[in-house]
Amino acid sequence: MVEPLRGKKTSLREIASTDGPALFRIVGDDRVTKFMSFDSRSREVAQKSVDDVVERSKARPRTEYYLAITCAGDDELIGTCRIAYSGMQAAKLGYMVAADYWGNGYATDAVSVMLDFAFRELDLHRVTAAIGPANPASQAVVKRLGFSREGVLRDHVFTNGTWRDSVLFSLLRHEWVKS
């Protein structure tokens, strides 16, 4: 178990089975999932995905860190931030924030905390993020944190009824500067 990781505006903590309803408010919301690689999920599927995350968090060696984003000083899940190992000292980054909380700098703060954990504690060398071409908010988050655009992954995901490209961004360990 990872001890809570604290940022300026947010904290990251391990997801618990009781986070199902809070996660459903995010993954069941079309405003959020239209940018994700999956369609909106039912309450039952959201709970199952939380239970699966809890189960995977027990794997040793660990394959991912799928953490809850909370506002600093609060325990309620308002988003998630995940890194999943993908190759030698490399990981894929993903995140989402409940629509009612957008525009407060929460994602930037939470991803910054996760990157610090990834490069300093997990000793990763490379972190990538694959983001939809029509997702300027998410692209703004990674650009602000120093990621470089690598190129386009064509028809990368099938989501919301159609194939969608992704723009691939990456950040290397020596490029990471915590603000």
Ligand X SMILES: CC(C)(COP(=O)(O)OP(=O)(O)OC[C@H]1O[C@@H](n2cnc3c(N)ncnc32)[C@H](O)[C@@H]1OP(=O)(O)O)[C@@H](O)C(=O)NCCC(=O)NCCS
Collect all residues with Cβ–Cβ distance below 8 Å to 51 and sequence separation of at least 6. 17, 20
Rounded to 5 degrees, φ, ψ at 48 are -65, -40
Nearer to ligand X, 107 or 124 (CB): 107
Q: How far is the CB of 119 from ligand X (least distance, A)?
A: 19
Nearer to ligand X, 53 or 59 (CB): 53
Q: State how far the Cα of 147 lies from the Cα of 7, in Å rounded to an integer.
A: 19
Residues that bind ligand X (CB under 6 A): 32, 35-36, 95-97, 102-108, 131, 135-138, 140-141, 144
Q: How far is the CB of 30 from ligand X (least distance, A)?
A: 10
Q: State how far the Cα of 31 lies from the Cα of 178, in Å rounded to an integer.
A: 30
Q: Where are the beta strands (DSSP E) in 15-138?
A: 64-71, 77-85, 90-97, 126-131
Nearer to ligand X, 40 or 108 (CB): 108
Q: Say whether 23 sits in a helix, a strand or coil.
A: helix
Q: How far is the CB of 60 from ligand X (least distance, A)?
A: 28
Q: How far is the CB of 92 from ligand X (least distance, A)?
A: 10
Nearer to ligand X, 119 or 169 (CB): 169
Let me know if 3 is exposed, middle or buried by CB neighbors in 10 A (0-12, 13-18, 19+).
Answer: exposed
Q: How far is the CB of 5 from ligand X (least distance, A)?
A: 16
Nearer to ligand X, 89 or 135 (CB): 135
Q: Is the dihedral of CA 103, 83, 123, 173 positive or negative?
A: negative
